[in-house]
A = this chain, B = another copy of it.
Amino acid sequence: MEPPVKKQMLEEKEDKNGEANLNGFNIIKVLLNDAKSKRVHVHGKFKGSDEDAIITMVKTPFSEESIKSILTSDTTLTLEFQNDIYGQHSAHTNPENNIITTQIIKPATEKHLMKYGDQKVFLLNESAEDYRTKTLPYLTNQKFSINWVYNILDHKTESERIVYEDPDKKNGFILLPDLKWDGKQVTDLYLVAICHCRDIKSIRDLNENHLPLLKNILNKGVEAIKSKYGVEKNELRVYFHYQPSYYHLHVHFNHIHYDVGGISVGKAHLLTDVIDNIENIDSSFYGKKCLPVLLREQDPLLPILQNPL
């Protein structure tokens, strides 16, 4: 709790600057509106000010206390429709029960405006021919450095972070924690297996010759995680990205409860599915398949895939 004196001082400052008075706030643009997290970033100017401002508003999560207060006569329900045992309503409740957390950045710089802006994402389909005639030539011309991957494989960097290694040049790999994981709890467990073989760019290149490599990564990776972290195979999500963020074959291992970005259909491909598709459906599955591709508005690959050659 804040001492009341300090609070009062802040309120006076606030009034003086007019920062917290929304009367006459002029909206320039909604930078981002995230429906899942109920968060919005709004660019605008306060009344009588020339400075750019960003207002971030987030609906608060429910708390035990607010649930109790809402589920009372404090709240009015309006029935939208009823179907069998299911009724859909709109609830109006006391503002006290339903606060909106609000952050104001003022003055906001160009960098803030970019940081809080939205980039549209598009879902396209890449046929096998698109890959050969468009994506592959684009990738080959790119100079994305993957020296950092070779540094890991050569034990030049991060060798102290290695959780498991099979040094075989053809079927071996290195397993280590992803940078997004602090390693402190298994609920957000995230490791990556990087294969030693240097000529497999992505799942597009995979066929029956790679089954020993794929099964090796699955079996030994899962085993190493179980032994070190106590997480079982059926609690792991083991997958590739397509398109990947770098073109050297690697596999993501997450805890199944961890809703990290990049696990959605159209982006993630389960290792077990990849093995099954090659082994039991068609050995050249990934050379034939039309693969979904999620691309951001500013990705250079987007116009290449969208436009005819």
Contacts and interface: CB of A to CB of B under 8 A. Distances in A.
Interface of A: 2, 7, 10-11, 13-14, 19-23, 25, 27, 30, 33-40, 42, 44, 55, 57, 59-62, 64, 67-68, 70-75, 77-79, 81-96, 98-108, 120-125, 147-148, 151-152, 157-158, 161, 179, 185, 187-188, 234-237, 239, 255-260, 263-270, 272-273, 276-277, 280-282, 285, 288-290, 292, 294
A7 B59 CA distance: 29
Contacts of A39: 62
Contact of A161 (B81, B188, B239, B266): B81
A89 B62 contact: no
B88 A179 contact: yes
B100 A93 contact: yes
Nearest to A158: B83
A125 B19 CA distance: 47
Given A22-B77, A77-B102, 13 more contacts: A20-B78, A21-B77, A35-B188, A40-B62, A85-B105, A85-B106, A237-B265, A256-B294, A264-B268, A265-B270, A276-B289, A277-B289, A281-B282
B84 A122 contact: no
Contacts of A83: 148, 151-152, 157-158
A27 B84 CA distance: 23
Residue among A34, A105, A260 with most chain B CB within 10 A: A34
B91 A94 contact: no
Contacts of A89: 20, 101-104
A176 B25 CA distance: 37
Contacts of A72: 22-23, 25
A237 to B, nearest CB: 6
26 contacts: A14-B79, A21-B77, A23-B72, A25-B72, A35-B185, A36-B188, A38-B61, A44-B71, A55-B71, A82-B157, A83-B151, A86-B105, A92-B96, A92-B100, A95-B95, A120-B235, A121-B235, A123-B236, A124-B234, A125-B272, A239-B265, A263-B264, A273-B290, A276-B290, A280-B288, A282-B282
Contacts of A36: 36-37, 61, 188, 258-260
B148 A84 contact: yes
Contacts of A105: 85-87
Contacts of A23: 72-73
A27 B71 contact: yes
Contacts of A62: 33, 38-40, 57, 59
A92 B85 contact: no
